[in-house]
Amino acid sequence: MKPKIKLLLVAGTRPEIIKLAPLVFAADAAGPWQVSLCFTGQHRDMGMAMIRDLALRCDHDLALMGPDQSPAAFLGAALPALEGVILRERPAWIVVQGDTTTALAGALAGFYRRVPVLHVEAGLRTYDKTQPFPEEMHRQVIGRLADAHGAPTEAARQSLLREQVADRDILVCGNTSIDCLLHVVQALRGAAPVLSGEFLASPAGQRLFARDGRPTDARLVLITGHRRESFGEGFAAICRAILRLAERFPAVEFVYPVHLNPQVSEVVHRMLSRVANIHLIAPQAYRPFVQLMERATLILTDSGGIQEEAPALGKPVLVMRHVTERPESVACGASLLVGNDEERIVASTTRLLTDSSAFAAMALPRFPYGDGHAAPRLLAWLKNRATRA
Phi and psi at 295, nearest 5°, equal: -80, -20
Instruction: Tell me which of 125, 226, 322, 385 is the catalytic residue.
Output: 226
Instruction: Tell me which of 138, 227, 259, 287 is the catalytic residue.
Output: 259
Instruction: Tell me which of 135, 136, 302, 325 is the catalytic residue.
Output: 135
Whole-number Å distance between alpha carbons of 8 and 226: 28
Instruction: Enumerate residues 6+ apart whose C-beta is below 8 A from 204.
Output: 253, 255, 277, 279, 281
One-letter identity of residue 12: G
Instruction: Tell me which of 16, 53, 99, 308 is the catalytic residue.
Output: 99
Phi and psi at 148, nearest 5°, equal: -140, 140
Is 259 designated active site? Answer: yes
Phi and psi at 252, nearest 5°, equal: -95, 135
Instruction: Tell me which of 139, 228, 321, 377 is the catalytic residue.
Output: 228
Whole-number Å distance between alpha carbons of 190 and 263: 38
Instruction: Tell me which of 53, 89, 121, 253 is the catalytic residue.
Output: 121
Is 89 designated active site? Answer: no
Whole-number Å distance between alpha carbons of 110 and 140: 16
Is 121 designated active site? Answer: yes
Q: Regarding beta strands 335-337 and 298-301, do their DSSP bridges make them parallel or antiparallel, or are they unpaired? A: unpaired
Is 99 designated active site? Answer: yes
Is 228 designated active site? Answer: yes
Q: In what order do the strands lie in the sheet with 60-61?
A: 60-61, 33-39, 5-11, 93-97, 117-120, 148-151, 170-172
**Is residue 334 within 8 Å of residue 306, measured between CB atoms?**
no
Residue positions annotated with a catalytic role: 99, 121, 135, 226, 228, 259
